[in-house]
Structure 1
Amino acid sequence: MIIDRRSVLSLAIYAGEIMLKNGAETYRVEDTIVRICKAYDISNVESFVTPTGIFITVDSENDHQEPITFIKRIKSRTIDLSKVSKVNTFSRSLTDSKNSIEDGIEVLKDIESFPTYPKYIRVFCAGLASAFFGVLLGAGILDFLSSFTISMIVFIIVNYLDQHQANFFIQNALGSAIASALALLFVYFGFGINLDKIIISSIMILLPGVAITNAVRDSISGDLISGTARGVEALITAISIASGVGIIMNLWIHTFGGRF
């Protein structure tokens, strides 16, 4: 069976795109791309992946073939590790199954369109996760309930901004500012006690935990460019969160003297 190299590259770059968009490390994306190409007996392949782009080149195997290069720009990223796992499993199964390119494309389309959890579940879990961080910090029942409510509100607002393609710095700065303002109001009206614990636990859903983890893993695996890029992304995210909290706290101190 004659394999069209362009079709194989289209399949490989599609798989890499799904993984990179959903939070995979760059070295894992590169490994998946090479694995898919080798499953279809294309050995002279090189892949280079950054957090915002995928580059694949297949060198000529004889004098009658020209090298082929594909480039894919990645403009949006989220976190859905279940899709990363599914694509990873799919790439490894190709060695034994030898699916056609068309079947492989259909499998990837099914993975890409795989539904996430309903919004109400994600909102509830975001509030619950943040509230239990408050418990770890020593928060009481009122602080727990305050953090739970505030985190859900922040998650809804940030998710809305993300759907409208707002800048991630604005998303996190505005989310942390709203969390701080609501925490002040909750404490002022007696729905919370420890302002610091409520604010810290409420902004936990904004912290770039996956970005930091991937930055370390990419750096350890030798992908220094991707590791540095993800580290800078995590740093900017942390700065945006601190900026949002700092602005609200400064306004409170300068307006009310830091007292209720």
Structure 2
Amino acid sequence: MITQRQQRGFMLAIISGEIMMKSGGEIYRVEEIITRICRACNIKYVEVFATPTGIFASIGSGGEEGDIKTYMKSIKSRSTNLTKISEINNLSRKFVNGDIDVEDAIKEAKAIDAKKAYPLPIISIGAALTASIFCGLFGGQIIDCVIAAALGTLTYLFSVLLSKYGISYFINYFVCVAVASFVALVSEAFKITTGHDFVIIGILMLFVPGAALTNALRDFLTGDMLSGVSRLTEAVAIAVSLAAGAGIILTLWNSIGGVFS
């Protein structure tokens, strides 16, 4: 017989796993946190299967005649939020160690899930720094870095705007990089920058799927082949959209010989 506390502990485990998945955690960590919380509630039978788009978990009281409950949770969106991953990990440890009861843990988990990311101005500053630093690393001059910083900020804000309308990341990144590439070419034509390539590289680095690729490789190494293929496909799709956005604009620009040449 599954007790009321065990059912609430199961819900805590699902909420924790969902937060971990939506924040960019690896599959094995999602399955581990759910299993660890359920074991802390003395649940004898625990089976978890997680993918980037869903979590499937079953618990039971043990034995062939025991109660079994199954829960499926669809994951609609994913991002990278290391703060939430750290906080939900700490919460699970507190619960496993008996430092917090299940109801308070559920409330705290929901509070963690409701936390917003860094304010948009802070993220915009980060986008500007990223674009300008990579522009300089690849050989851009000071003026190139300044233009890359300004263009990186505007490009990121444009990406946020498109995402609010539910536009897929493939089209979102394609449009953002295409627009940024065109502006970089125009800036070079007006002799504002010394080279469009440095600026474009700085903008591209804002959207390179480094986290998705890293998690895909880690999933492969831990034996989660389905998740690894899924995340690798996602990373490749993003890379293709970035390359297409910049490549098409550069090709069209070269085909007409540059507007101001």
For the aligned pair, the TM-score class normalised by the smaller chain equals over 0.9
User: What pairs up with 1:47-58 in 2 under 5 angstroms?
Assistant: 47-58=48-59
Match of 1:123 in 2: 124
Match of 2:232 in 1: 231
CA distance in structure 1 between the aligned counterparts of 2:83 and 2:192, rounded to whole angstroms: 37
User: What pairs up with 1:164-175 in 2 under 5 angstroms?
Assistant: 164-175=165-176
Deviating above 6 A after TM superposition, structure 1's stretches of 4 or more consecutive aligned residues are none
Match of 1:207 in 2: 208
Match of 1:73 in 2: 74
CA distance in structure 2 between the aligned counterparts of 1:258 and 1:38, rounded to whole angstroms: 66
Determine helix, strand or coil for the equivalent of 2:34.
Answer: helix
Determine helix, strand or coil for the equivalent of 2:183.
Answer: helix
User: What pairs up with 1:1-260 in 2 under 5 angstroms?
Assistant: 2-62=3-63, 65-97=66-98, 99-256=100-257, 260=261
CA distance in structure 1 between the aligned counterparts of 2:157 and 2:19, rounded to whole angstroms: 24
Write the letter of the residue equivalent to 2:194: I
Identity across the alignment (%): 37
Does the 8 Å CA contact 1:3/1:40 hold for their aligned counterparts? no
CA distance in structure 2 between the aligned counterparts of 1:165 and 1:15, rounded to whole angstroms: 26
CA distance in structure 2 between the aligned counterparts of 1:39 and 1:84, rounded to whole angstroms: 20
Give the Å deviation of 1:62.
Answer: 4.4
Deviations 1:24-73 (A, max 9, x none): 11111111100111111113101111000001011332466321110000
> What are structure 1's unaligned runs of at least 5 residues?
none
Does the 8 Å CA contact 1:218/1:227 hold for their aligned counterparts? yes
Does the 8 Å CA contact 2:219/2:227 hold for their aligned counterparts? yes
The number of equivalent residue pairs is: 260
Give the Å deviation of 1:3.
Answer: 4.2
Deviations 1:122-175 (A, max 9, x none): 011111112101111111101101111111111001111122221111011111
CA distance in structure 2 between the aligned counterparts of 1:79 and 1:7, rounded to whole angstroms: 27
Deviates more, 1:247-256 or 1:67-76: 247-256
Normalising by the residue count of structure 1, what TM-score does the alignment of the two structures yield?
0.95
Does the 8 Å CA contact 2:43/2:60 hold for their aligned counterparts? no
Write the letter of the residue equivalent to 2:204: I
> What are structure 2's unaligned runs of at least 5 residues?
none
Deviations 1:210-235 (A, max 9, x none): 00010011111111111111001000
